[in-house]
């Protein structure tokens, strides 16, 4: 992985595995980090202000109506739909900006764990890594994508 803004390889490694079935796209992530912290606890907060893990799904491959999911080390989540990239004047559709906006919950499922001993926000305990497990509902990933096909 590289930083999407600078294309610089990060100091710590991130490993990801994905699988799917008829209902979910499963994503498991292992992220090395020596100082894991998180402050945001409200669902649909702007999660990237904390240490976070993000998943982008463009079911049609068009850069339009793509889905984004973010989770911080506390397990706080934000899911949104973007009609097109922010750099192309795209706009966010989520419950953060509109009570009737896009959201993957329910049936989205997710969990996080910080190592060692779930020690987070404590600089006296060096962390080694944190993990995230996510089950993204395929039905929600397909919304507003008329050309997309379900995975076989």
Give the tens place of pLDDT for each residue, 111-149.
Answer: 999 999 999 999 999 999 999 999 999 999 998 888 777
> Is the backbone peptide bond immediately before 146 cis, with ω within 30 degrees of 0?
no
| Residues paired with residue 66 on neighbouring β-strands, in sequence order | 82
Q: How confident is the model over 7-39, as pLDDT tens digits? A: 888 899 999 999 999 999 999 999 999 999 999
Give the model's confidence band at 1: pLDDT under 50 very low, under 70 low, under 90 confident, else very high: confident
Which pLDDT does position 75 carry in this prediction?
97
Which pLDDT does position 37 carry in this prediction?
96
Considering the entire predicted model, what is its pTM? Answer: 0.91
Q: How confident is the model over 73-107, as pLDDT tens digits? A: 999 999 999 998 888 998 999 999 999 999 999 89
């Amino acid at each position: 992985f590289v930083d999407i803004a600078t294309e610089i390889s990060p100091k710590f490694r991130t490993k990801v595995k994905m699988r799917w079935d008829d209902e979910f796209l499963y994503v498991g992530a292992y992220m090395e980090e020596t100082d894991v912290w998180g402050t945001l606890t409200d669902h649909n907060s702007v999660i990237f202000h904390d240490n976070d893990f993000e998943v982008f799904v463009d079911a049609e491959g068009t850069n339009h109506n793509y889905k984004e999911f973010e989770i911080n080390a506390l397990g706080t989540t934000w899911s949104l739909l973007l009609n097109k990239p922010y750099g192309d004047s795209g706009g966010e559709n989520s419950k953060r900006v509109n009570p009737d906006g896009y959201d993957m919950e329910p049936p989205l499922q997710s969990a996080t764990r910080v190592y060692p001993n779930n020690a987070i926000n404590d600089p006296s305990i060096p962390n080694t890594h944190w993990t995230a497990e996510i089950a993204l509902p395929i039905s929600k990933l397909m919304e507003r994508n008329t050309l997309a096909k379900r995975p076989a």
